[in-house]
Structure 1
Amino acid sequence: MKLTTDWRIIILLCLTLGLAPFFPEPHVIGKLRWLFGGAKGMQLMDYFDLVLHGFPFILLIRLIIIKLKK
């Protein structure tokens, strides 16, 4: 599938969906801080939001691993 193996698309997804909204800090970073801080008060929607914003980075890591194995 071209979508999951194209560097340009995955990097674009990381920079847009993965980091949006950008101010005051990227959303995924705020969610990760919350999760690593004990996740007090996190609800199901917050976990879904973390997965949604983190998925482009998972695709990027997957693509890096595939390229390194070759």
Structure 2
Amino acid sequence: MKLLDSIDWTTAIIVALLLGLAPFFPEPHLWEKLRMLFAGELQRALDWFDLLMHGAPLVLLVLKAARDLRARKG
């Protein structure tokens, strides 16, 4: 958990936005891969890798927020 604490909020937000939304046009990769996942079209290994790579910073941002909220309450 020290990793989450060592990342400042500005860096976490910028990385999550840049990697989550890249490429910006015609459609963000993360949105495209999530749409494919829910449609059952996410079959190639490259598609799964893209989903993990573009989604990981967003997951880390959510985990950092949850840890911060939990630390403030307790």
TM beyond 0.5? yes
| Structure 1: gaps spanning 5 or more residues | none
| Structure 2: gaps spanning 5 or more residues | none
Structure number with larger C-alpha Rg? 2
What TM-score do you get using the length of structure 2 for normalisation?
A: 0.82
Listed as ranges, the matches of 1:1-70 within 5 Å are 1=3, 2=6, 5-39=7-41, 42-70=43-71
Q: Report the Cα distance in structure 1 between the residues aligned to 2:63 and 2:51, rounded to whole angstroms.
A: 18
Question: How many aligned positions are there?
Answer: 67
Would you identify which runs of 4 or more consecutive aligned residues in structure 1 move more than 4 Å? Answer: none
Q: Report the Cα distance in structure 2 between the residues aligned to 1:61 and 1:16, rounded to whole angstroms.
A: 15
Q: Report the Cα distance in structure 1 between the residues aligned to 2:56 and 2:12, rounded to whole angstroms.
A: 10
Identity of aligned residues (%): 46
Q: Is the 8 A contact 2:29 2:50 kept in 1?
A: no
